[in-house]
Structure 1
Amino acid sequence: MDLLGVAAVLVEADGRIDMWSPQAEALFGFSGEEALGQYAARLLVDPEHRAEAIRLFATVMESGEDWAGVFPVRHKDGGIRTVEFRNMRLTDNIGDHYALGLATDRATLRQVERKVALSSQLVTQAPIGLAVLDTELRYVAVNPALAEMHGVPEADHMGRGFREILPGEPFAAAEAQMHEVLETGLPVVDQQVVGRTRADPDSDHAWAMSLYRLEDHAGQVLGIANVIVDVTDRYESARAAERAQQRLRMMAEGSARIGTTLEVERTAQELADVLVPELADMVAVDIVDSLLKSGRPDAGDGLPLFRALAVKTAYPTDASTAIIQPGHLTTYHADHPAAHCFRTREPLLITHLDRADLVRVAADDEAARLLAEAGVHTDMAVPLIARDEVIGVMGLARARNPRPFDEDDLTLACELASAAALSIDNAILHQHIRSAAETLQRSLLPQISPRHPGLEIAARYRPAQAFSEVGGDWYDIIPLDGDRTALAVGDVMGSGIPAATAMGRLRTATSTLADLDLDPARILTHLDKITQDLDPFFATCSYAVYDPYQHQLHIASAGHLPPVLVPDGGPPRLLDLPSGTPLGVGGGAFETTTVALEPGDQLVLYTDGLVETRHDPIDERLAHLLRLLQGPPSDPEDRCERLLRALRKPSDHDDVALLIAQAHPLKP
């Protein structure tokens, strides 16, 4: 009514104006004093239209029927205005009749009509959702587009609350924002909301929501306007792009993190660590047990025995107890996804797990119950294939992550499994080669007696860590005529079975040459010639002969680290020997040095694996060795253990040979 500026004029039965509203003064230009008591037809109607006006007035007064229409009216300024009229007859309490005329400017009315029509078309025909809610967040207007988005008819929206129509948890935050907009008046524009409605209860949709507070012309809050645009396509595209980036990140991370060592268990755990929690909530990696034991798969036709190597969960859960734990053995039943992968060499994707599927993927009924209680709802099994052999199976599951696995997830899991399988197979191969080399190495070392004439001897051999190859370090104790004893410690450069084999040949040659009763320098000269035939191997060596009657040690070195002499009651020192060249270089000159080795004195022979590291200067490490040899006397066995504990780490990359000989008075 305020927009139209409706004027009210009351006319008596004889045609005189009895009442005149302020809006009439604004519309027609005449004041109340000028209009009241005047004949309406004479004041407001041009002579050429006056008869028609009187006729219409008489019809309303006589019949009591309303009349509505457009009529030209004379303005005070002399101009003619087209006015929209609504005329009706009124009756007072004594039966007298009056005519009430309601009028507004026709141009203003048409403008409002156009706006209303345009607004109505926008609301009803727009593809975006539009709604008006009152201050209690009850729907008072909804357009068809929004009703279709909600899956609720327009009429069923009216009077119902926002959360009655959209009860899902994702819409709780939207309701809170509506209250905030009502309170502050600050609009919210393009706020993304993701959830499910009755229109499509099985799929997520995304909407861009804008909220505006509605007020009347006096500033009173009427409610809130809600504008909704479906942006599901844009949301899915963004999610697809994000998932593609995630896959690239995971592939890059997998390349960097998987296979950093040649340890089988660690490589399997690295695979699980990459997959959880980025791709799965739970991951288990199993390997065919016969491969771990012998390096070859089972020859039988049935399902093999699997050994669990790695298990990883994204959060603490009882479902982890339903998964075979690392180190345990299991044989999967014929319907299990792992069995499917082993038989067919193909992965298996179960998008939605029902009760029957849970029994199928679990080890037993109790495990199926635990998986169900944990909310496991989707599962994948992927074969680990290396060199065209299925060496194991990887299982993945989701529980808290509500999104089921899809083909993209399966592709990513297969790519990571393929890379990890080759690393695991390499680690298994290395493990068997290393085991064979270590067995050969130990078999070639002497079985020593701790006591020789005038000597108490202790020796140790420690191989390199699990993912490094065994080297060619060795020691030897050779009895000689005249109660003398030859002591040797050497290091063949290289690793693996070839190095161990070369070490065995050198040790055999050393024992043979020792029987010839040659000077240590001449022994090394002959060994140098022999080693040249073992090309491309080189070796360092310290060779010494102890005479218990003279208490003398005759020693020569071929490029080896200096031995340590620990006098009884004196400070330990490195023996200053001519270093010589490594065996196999050829043409080197070796010298024999004679030092006193009195009863109670100790001689420490060792290979570089005891003192050398990748980060510390060799001088500092040798100084540390001397500090460890200070202090109260201890027997060779105890001293060997103490030195290895202090200087040797499980992660060291080189093997160690250590020999400690302590002189004693010669017994009859």
Structure 2
Amino acid sequence: MSIPSEASFARRRADSADSDKMAAFLLDGHGTVTTWSTAAERLFGYSESEVVGRQAAALWPAAFPDLLDEPASPGKAVSTPGHRVTAAHGHGPDVAFLTAPLPSAWPGGQGTVVLAVPARLLADAEDQALLDTLFTRSPIGVAVYDTQLRFLRINAAHARLHGIPEEQVLGRRISEILPEVDATEIENRLSRVMNTGLPSANAVHHGRTPADTDRHHAWNVSSVPLTCPDGRTLGVADVITDITDHYRARERLAILDEAAARIGTTLDVTRTAEELVDILVPRLADLAVIDLIEGVVQGEEPQRASTGPIPLCLAARKAAQPTIVDALRKIGVRQHFPTDTPHAQSLADGQPRLLPVIDRDASWIRNSHDPRIHALLQHGVHSLILVPLRARDTTLGFVHLYRTDRADPFEPDDLLLVQDLVTRAAVSVDNARRFTGEHAALVTLHESMLPRSVPEQSAAYIAHRYRPAQGHAGLSGDWFDVIPLSGMRVALVVGGVPGAGFRAAAAMGQICSSVRTLAQLDLSPDELLARLDDMVPRLVEREHSAGSTAFAKALVGATCLYTVYDPISRHCVMASAGHPAPAIADPTGQVWFPSLPSNKPLGLGDPVFEPLELELAEGSTLALYTESLLRAWNANKPLADRLRAIIADGSCSLDATCRAVAETVAPHLAAEDGLALLFARTRSLGTGRVAVWDVPFDPGSVADTRSLVLRQLDEWGLEHLAFTTELIVSELVTNGIRYGREPLNLRLIHDQALTCEVSDASSTSPHIRRAATTDEGGRGLFLVAQMSHRWGTRYGATGKTIWAEQLLTPPREALDPDQDPGAPNDTPGRTI
């Protein structure tokens, strides 16, 4: 009779401990019990007479119908509760029937041998078989620890994972056999599992093992507590899988995701390079350095050297060991690498380089005189990656990475990851470079339209500040100007153009140039703005016809504040086209805003720009600004109070006051806001510098007027200007009497120049012309223009003023009356 393996195991267990709990009997080919053993009688409680001759299906209906429908197969088993023929016998234990066919040579013919085994014993056999299979054939590492966390058993896969055979492991703790893994963390986790009775799933641990000493590995570990049926804790078991490749792949994806979020957050070349090294260290390298071709940081196109090494500048660096940084170049320092170094070769051919192990005997190291290379080697650098920084087929520089602290060298997978990171970063670096270049060009364009220096004038002390917009759109359309006018007056102008960028700068240039041109006509502020407003639609129409719609839109809605201050009368006249009124601080420290009439911005169809006239005390401060400061002022009361106090402080120099206002308000400005500040502290020209005469409307008064002027020049010590001044006064007074209207007034102003002004009540416009040789007159204004540095005409509410300025230095050539095309004439026969 052949007994199946499970039955053999059960029989052995029965013989050793539970032999009275197992029994065998025979069935014929029809399922009838033919042989009943004493052991079966003890197990089931049936006597031989009660069982033999009966169908097994009648005795155990839950088991044998299915069991005997087909020929018996070895090892086929079914668990069923024991039954009795009569209820008087009670119930027996749960058993499992193991069956096997009888040999063909069996004397009784076809039949089946049945072994009744308690289900508990068969379950133990299955568990043992499974456990043996798990520890001998499973590809997953398994370890069993006792309550002291000492190894009780490991399987073959565990031994392969860590490179330590079972005989060297048993009875020892993890920290004793694997010192280069995070043993403390592992043992803490195992203790928690045993103490709480709760399993731990998918913990990740790292380290190196004897199986692979050169590579850092990662393992996924799940732990379960081992307990007896009575609740006692026997230990804990681990199931371990090596997930190094999977872990590194996930780590690389995480690095790439982080790089996408962190690199290129600004349009600043240096900051973008710093963001890249922050990603690389310490995740991939112990030292990362980014060198950019000279000029890239400034926004220039990268220049390649025609011969010799390519000049580089250090843009960013980061080291896990801060002491390494001290041995390297400073940020911004110019550098080049000899042509035999892998750095220069990578930069030249645009190909990356991987040096898993740096050969210290390599010629480029042995022959190097660069102390930085030797300093890196002294700090333990042993592995190198070089990746050119390329974007749009242009090499911008390169990235070099080093490993010092970690023992494992760079691998090809590391190179692929670094290439991916550098490729992404290169686009951001190039975008930042192009923006920087365009922004620099825009700043140059914008600054070329602003006054590079304050022109000489005596009306006021001037200070100014300009801060371009910091946003991606570039510069705003804010501007200011200081324009000296006749009569020692000065025009203070500030304005803004809607939008930002090149179009706003170009529109601002047109507005600014127009204001400067109109200012030379000595127009009043309201009239100047009216003419400027009338000019804007024509400019817009011209731009529309040229297809520049966006540029035309930038012109409409421009704002401008035009202020004229006269240091003689201390009058200030201002008019605004949609621009906020200036802040005024008087000498006592009171800051106030004048009630300037509100007018529409330029180009919106407002033909009237009402002016406001004020009289300012000497030492008053006029603070002109763009709208961005007003927005910050109105939105933040503490800021407004701080700015008010700064402007009111007359003890500081005007430049310090202007600088303090700019620095205070700058952090509160939006990125797209620029800031233009123009501060003026008024001066007063004393009466000793001004001489005024009422001239009788009589040709005979010209000679007397010349005498008065000569005496005044003597008092001022300007005798060297007597001849030219006498000629200019004669011509201007004579023409005023001849063509003007009463009253007639002469004023001399002695300041940086000597100014002669003749005013009358007529609005007739004088015109200079070249007289023919036969003309009796027509040379008056021509002589005035020849004798003066500047001359012109301005109009007021009551008439006009013709003025002429002379420099105080002596003229280079004296005027010879005999050679001049005209001479002074006291008679009214001269014409203009």
TM-score range, shorter chain: 0.5 to 0.7
Q: CA deviation at 1:556?
A: 0.6
Q: For structure 1, which runs of at least 5 residues remain unmatched after alignment?
A: 7-26, 28-106
Residue 274 of structure 1 corresponds to which residue in structure 2?
279
Structure 2 distance, partners of 1:648, 1:189, is: 55
Residue 622 of structure 2 corresponds to which residue in structure 1?
603
Q: 1:444 aligns with which of 436, 445, 449?
A: 449
Counterpart AA for 1:239? Y
1:417 aligns with 2:422: yes
Q: 1:169 aligns with which of 180, 202, 206?
A: 180
CA shift in 2, pair 1:579/1:341, >3 Å: farther
Residue 304 of structure 1 corresponds to which residue in structure 2?
310
Structure 2 distance, partners of 1:117, 1:480, is: 109
1:435 aligns with 2:435: no
1:373-412 to structure 2, matched below 5 A, reads: 374-401=379-406, 404-412=409-417
Structure 2 distance, partners of 1:622, 1:189, is: 61
- Whether the aligned pair in 2 keeps the contact of 1:525 and 1:589 (CA below 8 Å) is yes
1:520 aligns with 2:528: no
- Could you tell me the TM-score, scaled by structure 1's length? 0.68
- Whether the aligned pair in 2 keeps the contact of 1:611 and 1:625 (CA below 8 Å) is no
Alignment deviations for residues 71-100 of structure 1 (CA, whole Å, 9 cap, x no partner) = xxxxxxxxxxxxxxxxxxxxxxxxxxxxxx
CA shift in 2, pair 1:583/1:356, >3 Å: farther
Superposition CA RMSD, Å:
4.8
Structure 1 distance, partners of 2:434, 2:219, is: 51
Q: CA deviation at 1:348?
A: 2.6
- Whether the aligned pair in 2 keeps the contact of 1:263 and 1:467 (CA below 8 Å) is no
Residue 231 of structure 1 corresponds to which residue in structure 2?
241
Counterpart AA for 1:463? R
Residue 684 of structure 2 corresponds to which residue in structure 1?
664
Q: For structure 2, which runs of at least 5 residues remain unmatched after alignment?
A: 1-12, 19-38, 40-116, 541-551, 690-832
Structure 1 distance, partners of 2:479, 2:190, is: 81
Corresponding residue SS for 2:296: helix
Q: Percent identity?
A: 29
Residue 641 of structure 1 corresponds to which residue in structure 2?
659
Structure 1 distance, partners of 2:579, 2:245, is: 66
CA shift in 2, pair 1:353/1:163, >3 Å: farther
- Whether the aligned pair in 1 keeps the contact of 2:270 and 2:315 (CA below 8 Å) is yes
Structure 2 distance, partners of 1:622, 1:140, is: 77
CA shift in 2, pair 1:229/1:518, >3 Å: closer
Structure 2 distance, partners of 1:487, 1:628, is: 21
- Could you tell me the TM-score, scaled by structure 2's length? 0.56
Alignment deviations for residues 482-530 of structure 1 (CA, whole Å, 9 cap, x no partner) = 3333222222334445544443443332233223232211100111233
- Whether the aligned pair in 2 keeps the contact of 1:450 and 1:457 (CA below 8 Å) is no
Structure 2 distance, partners of 1:518, 1:460, is: 24
Alignment deviations for residues 578-636 of structure 1 (CA, whole Å, 9 cap, x no partner) = 121222334442112211123333322222344434x9628886665434333555553
Structure 1 distance, partners of 2:391, 2:619, is: 58
1:564 aligns with 2:578: no
Corresponding residue SS for 2:532: helix
Counterpart AA for 2:181? P
1:75-474 to structure 2, matched below 5 A, reads: 125-127=136-138, 157=168, 166=177, 168-170=179-181, 173=184, 197-203=209-215, 204=217, 206=219, 231-232=241-242, 235-236=243-244, 238-240=246-248, 242-254=250-262, 258-292=263-297, 295-301=300-306, 302-313=308-319, 315-355=320-360, 366-372=371-377, 374-401=379-406, 404-446=409-451, 452-453=457-458, 455-464=459-468, 469-474=474-479
Residue 87 of structure 1 corresponds to which residue in structure 2?
none
Q: 2:570 aligns with which of 541, 545, 551?
A: 551
Counterpart AA for 1:392? G
Q: CA deviation at 1:552?
A: 1.7
1:38-53 to structure 2, matched below 5 A, reads: none
Corresponding residue SS for 1:536: helix
- Whether the aligned pair in 1 keeps the contact of 2:572 and 2:614 (CA below 8 Å) is yes
CA shift in 2, pair 1:5/1:489, >3 Å: closer
Q: 2:612 aligns with which of 555, 578, 593?
A: 593
Residue 830 of structure 2 corresponds to which residue in structure 1?
none
Structure 1 distance, partners of 2:502, 2:483, is: 24
Q: CA deviation at 1:332?
A: 1.6
Q: CA deviation at 1:465?
A: 5.8
Structure 2 distance, partners of 1:162, 1:308, is: 50
- Whether the aligned pair in 2 keeps the contact of 1:610 and 1:647 (CA below 8 Å) is yes
Structure 1 distance, partners of 2:685, 2:518, is: 28
Q: 1:486 aligns with which of 484, 491, 495?
A: 491
CA shift in 2, pair 1:338/1:531, >3 Å: farther
- If asked which structure has higher relative contact order (CA below 8 Å, sep 6+), I would say 1
Aligned residues: 554
- Whether the aligned pair in 1 keeps the contact of 2:146 and 2:152 (CA below 8 Å) is yes
Corresponding residue SS for 2:420: helix
- Whether the aligned pair in 2 keeps the contact of 1:456 and 1:636 (CA below 8 Å) is no
CA shift in 2, pair 1:413/1:364, >3 Å: farther
Q: CA deviation at 1:122?
A: 5.5
Counterpart AA for 1:169? E
Corresponding residue SS for 2:339: coil
Residue 718 of structure 2 corresponds to which residue in structure 1?
none
Structure 1 distance, partners of 2:341, 2:580, is: 59
- Whether the aligned pair in 2 keeps the contact of 1:458 and 1:640 (CA below 8 Å) is no
Q: CA deviation at 1:299?
A: 4.4
Corresponding residue SS for 2:554: coil
Residue 47 of structure 1 corresponds to which residue in structure 2?
none
Q: CA deviation at 1:172?
A: 5.0
CA shift in 2, pair 1:402/1:447, >3 Å: closer
Structure 2 distance, partners of 1:178, 1:427, is: 48
